[in-house]
Structure 1
Amino acid sequence: MRRRGRTTRWQRGGRPTGAGARVAVVTAVLCAVAAMPGGTAAGGEQGTYSGVNAAASSGASPGTYAFAPDARSVTGAAGTADAPRLEAGRTYRSSLPGNGKLYYRLDLDATSDAYGSVTAIPRAGTEVSANDGIKVSLQDADHSSCSVQATRFGTSRSAHPVAAWGTREASRGSVLCQGAGTYYLVVERADAATASPDAWDLEIAVVTEPRLKSAEAPKAPEGWDSASPQPMTGDPVERPGGAGFASARPLGQGVWRDDLTPGQTAFYKVPVDWGQQLYATAELGGSSGASGYVSGALTMTLYNPVRGYVQERNTGYDGRQVSYALAVLPPVRYANRYAIPEQVRTMRFAGSYYLVVHLAAQVADEAGQGPRRVTLHVRVRGAAQAGPGYAGSSEPRGVFDVTAGDLVAAGGSGGDRGSDTVMTAVAVSGIGAGTVLLGALGVWTVAARRRSRE
């Protein structure tokens, strides 16, 4: 009996027809996307990420951090009078002493929301306490506080990059921190009493978000599905992480694997569009040579597209395999910023969400110096929705976008995004990609008309 199923027909002379023509068009479009800046073939690897070679960043040794290649050096001031000016859309490199505060100046307009994220990078081998970390606040010219956030090393007590952000939200019904003018980003240690005396390197990123076109007040966030889905399953794909935010390796939905050495931190980024939910589970492989227990052995931290802290989870390790998941988060919505829970408020824009995974240095004392196998199970649920309708562009541009290049570079199964996501993204991602798509479809249409006349 002849087996029935999908077939691909080819005409004489090698011209495709039917499904064969559709496959040829899709292949041509994906190849065109791969030729675009930042694009690759589906499931493939990008050659560079933000100017940093992927191969160079993935093999970073413990304690090594890859700063943005275009980061400008700046020295923070001990007071507001001499505070250096930071420009929106720029990344800076600075240094934080063991005590005291540093001030940086921001000149903001009256309508944009502004975010200043500061990543603290202690040197390898630095002794830190659970309460040690970084504290970031944003103040106006009258010393009124717009926001304050502190991020700590916690139970891992292992030195690794940690980030906190300062925010100025325009027109939220508050009389504080409104209007155009001078604002100050203030950086200090989270706990001066337990702070290590060593100076820490800093990477500072400043982002502005434009106002919405509509003058109508956004609605409060709606209810959402808080049930935890099963972690993604399947054969893991090797995907070494980057050594900093700028060199974070893209991850799509799927199962990904990396080998981390004690003290090492790996950076990944997951494209999450408006209306979608992100789920992530980390698994640390077992070791037969372990002789004790390490609290906070593996830490997974989630940051939003402007490097704002969202949440952190960690687990202890005694040599037996162990896994844990991020707490369930809401779908990405503009209105989340008006919620009360901080974890909901941070899921306020589309873009690349950063998963930062750290293997504590103390693991070497109990399980040996060798690398440990870490597996990440990533799921992105829900169809992408239309954005809120910005009246302008962010600085830097594209921070709150998910492009065709992002989806292709992330690879993975695509999962709940739908089979047409990449094609749709190509069609709307820009004039170049749109021209390629329309041109390919035009050739397909002409060929079909010719066949109908033959």
Structure 2
Amino acid sequence: MWRGSSPVRARAAAVAALLLCATAALPTGPALAAGTPGPYAFAPDARPVSGGASTAGAGALTPGATYKSSLPGAGETHYRIDLDDTSDAYVSVTAVPAAGSTIHAGDGIKVSVRDAQGHSCSQDTETFGVVRSPRPIAAWGMREISADRPRCETAGAYDVIVERVTTAESVPDTWDLELFAATEPPLKQAGGTSAPETWDSATPDPLTGDGERRKGGAGFASAVPVGEGAWTSDIRPGRTLFYKVPLDWGRQLHATAGLGAADGGDGYAVGALNLALYNPVRGFVDDASANYDGSEKAAELDPLPPVAYENRYAGPDRLGAMRFAGSYYLVVHLSAAVAERYGDGPFELTLRVQEGGAAQAGPGYAGESEPGDVFQLSEGDREAAAADEAGNGAGGGGIENAALTALAVGGIGAGTLVLVVLGVWAVVARRRVGAL
């Protein structure tokens, strides 16, 4: 008898049943080549929406929902969002260039929000910078109820404009987009209107010791939860890994991404490793990059303030983005240029996460956000960040996660997918038997 194997066999049987039942729902187009996953995993529930060349043809966005769209190489693309006159609103736009695209340092996207009269409410531009490698990047727009912007306080339709930032050498190809819209209710009682003047900006002593295996996700929706500690994974050139860290009000985040030494090769890759931080509404906070010469290198974020509602009064910068409690996203990218000098890898990635500060009570919202859980944390969030991630330790839950991810990605033949999952289950079961 296989001691302890019944739960694994039961889970595998359930996954196989799920896959077989879902066969009819899988696409029948050509399968993705093995080892060549797409550059980004869109949210499984993302709704298709088409942007317009002007406000007349703008695609409609609803707070609390995620959308998939596209962005041409030139011109403005417009979306419409209807807002009340009390809530702050945020729209994050993730741009996904195709793998193999030519990227220049000045390329990127710009997101603007305007009211019905054409007055500007916000504007944000994000570029690829020194990491000239095709990867997902995100910019955000906002409509804040603020004395500084009385023109953007009325209820009604608002215009979200997305456009490419390009250089003279840029190729005007089309990029995929993922849009995420959220609203934040007002406070029950008005609080301070200025950002904290002092906070601990000292860099903590680095974590030591070996990391625990925790494979990252391929998009915001599939980001893998991590808490304080060291987390290791394999990463290949051109790939991007997504993690999420639950942060309460008052907590402070410090993060470093380290790349292991190469087995061979030589040369110097500029901006090889990039670590970016996004807030719970996928608004860009900050990033750091490291060059690579084949030896161990690390990209470390500069010190950030504790999460506080009042940080928003610091302005639309890295301090102002630390304005919510919720899940913050750590996004790690290894430049495709590394493969030219050091091969396809994989390379060992170590993500070190530290948290400081004491958790505090929230500011007290007078209503619900959309989506409802974006600015709060559950015990499940905290437990998931601390627990051994399924598929990276001894647990058997990685089979279920792998199956669900495959179903969401699509483009893989249903019969092949069933055989792959059952094969993985067989390998896991044999390993468990050998260990007993």
Q: State the TM-score, normalized to the length of structure 1.
A: 0.76
Distance 1:412 1:347 in 2: 25
Distance 1:349 1:213 in 2: 16
Secondary structure of the equivalent of 2:151? coil
Distance 2:56 2:167 in 1: 23
| Partner of residue 237 from structure 2, selected from 262, 276, 280 | 262
Aligned-pair distance for 1:60?
Answer: 7.8
The one-character-per-residue Cα deviations of 1:100-123 (angstroms, maximum 9, x if unpaired) are: 110000111111000000000111
Superposed, which structure 2 residues align to 1:315-334 within 5 Å?
A: 315-334=290-309
Distance 2:120 2:269 in 1: 38
Distance 1:284 1:190 in 2: 30
Distance 2:193 2:204 in 1: 29
Distance 2:296 2:278 in 1: 26
Aligned-pair distance for 1:405?
Answer: 0.4
- Please report the RMSD computed on the Cα atoms of aligned residues, expressed in angstroms: 1.6
Say if 2:106 and 2:167, in contact at 8 Å, map to a contact too.
Answer: no
Superposed, which structure 2 residues align to 1:435-450 within 5 Å?
A: none
In structure 2, what residue type is equivalent to 1:362?
Answer: A
The residue that corresponds to 1:390 in the other structure is 365
Say if 1:231 and 1:378, in contact at 8 Å, map to a contact too.
Answer: no
The residue that corresponds to 1:308 in the other structure is 283
Superposed, which structure 2 residues align to 1:274-285 within 5 Å?
A: 274-285=249-260
Distance 1:290 1:145 in 2: 50
The residue that corresponds to 1:422 in the other structure is none
The residue that corresponds to 2:70 in the other structure is 95
Secondary structure of the equivalent of 1:130? coil
| Partner of residue 50 from structure 2, selected from 53, 56, 75 | 75
Distance 2:108 2:148 in 1: 32
The residue that corresponds to 1:174 in the other structure is 149
Distance 1:60 1:311, change over 3 A: farther
Moved segments of 4+, more than 3 Å: 59-63, 192-195, 215-220
Say if 1:63 and 1:263, in contact at 8 Å, map to a contact too.
Answer: no
Aligned-pair distance for 1:253?
Answer: 0.3
Distance 1:314 1:348 in 2: 24
The residue that corresponds to 1:400 in the other structure is 375
Aligned-pair distance for 1:64?
Answer: 2.8
| Partner of residue 286 from structure 1, selected from 249, 258, 261 | 261
Distance 1:401 1:340, change over 3 A: same
Q: Number of residues paired by the alignment?
A: 355
Aligned-pair distance for 1:173?
Answer: 3.4
Aligned-pair distance for 1:380?
Answer: 1.1
The one-character-per-residue Cα deviations of 1:251-274 (angstroms, maximum 9, x if unpaired) are: 000000011111000000000110
Aligned-pair distance for 1:383?
Answer: 2.0
Say if 1:136 and 1:149, in contact at 8 Å, map to a contact too.
Answer: yes
Say if 2:39 and 2:136, in contact at 8 Å, map to a contact too.
Answer: no
Secondary structure of the equivalent of 1:120? strand
Aligned-pair distance for 1:381?
Answer: 1.1
Aligned-pair distance for 1:194?
Answer: 4.2
Secondary structure of the equivalent of 1:201? strand
* Structure 1 unaligned regions, length at least 5: 1-58, 414-454
Distance 1:249 1:172 in 2: 38
Say if 2:274 and 2:288, in contact at 8 Å, map to a contact too.
Answer: yes
Distance 1:242 1:150 in 2: 25
Say if 2:273 and 2:299, in contact at 8 Å, map to a contact too.
Answer: no
Distance 1:60 1:181 in 2: 47
* Structure 2 unaligned regions, length at least 5: 1-33, 389-436
Aligned-pair distance for 1:357?
Answer: 0.3
The residue that corresponds to 2:405 in the other structure is none
Aligned-pair distance for 1:144?
Answer: 1.3
The one-character-per-residue Cα deviations of 1:219-268 (angstroms, maximum 9, x if unpaired) are: 53241001000122222001010000000000000000011111000000
| Partner of residue 335 from structure 1, selected from 310, 320, 327 | 310
Q: Provide the identity percentage.
A: 57
The residue that corresponds to 1:138 in the other structure is 113
The residue that corresponds to 1:196 in the other structure is 171
Secondary structure of the equivalent of 1:154? coil
Say if 1:189 and 1:195, in contact at 8 Å, map to a contact too.
Answer: no
The one-character-per-residue Cα deviations of 1:326-355 (angstroms, maximum 9, x if unpaired) are: 000000000000014711100000000000
The residue that corresponds to 2:347 in the other structure is 372
Which of the two has higher C-alpha Rg?
Answer: 1
| Partner of residue 298 from structure 1, selected from 258, 262, 273 | 273
Distance 1:265 1:254 in 2: 20
The one-character-per-residue Cα deviations of 1:387-417 (angstroms, maximum 9, x if unpaired) are: 000001110011011110011000169xxxx
The residue that corresponds to 1:153 in the other structure is 128
In structure 2, what residue type is equivalent to 1:237?
Answer: E
Between stretches 230-239 and 152-161, larger displacement belongs to 230-239
The residue that corresponds to 1:273 in the other structure is 248
Distance 1:341 1:147 in 2: 9
Say if 1:101 and 1:188, in contact at 8 Å, map to a contact too.
Answer: yes
The residue that corresponds to 1:40 in the other structure is none
Say if 2:194 and 2:314, in contact at 8 Å, map to a contact too.
Answer: no
Say if 1:99 and 1:192, in contact at 8 Å, map to a contact too.
Answer: no
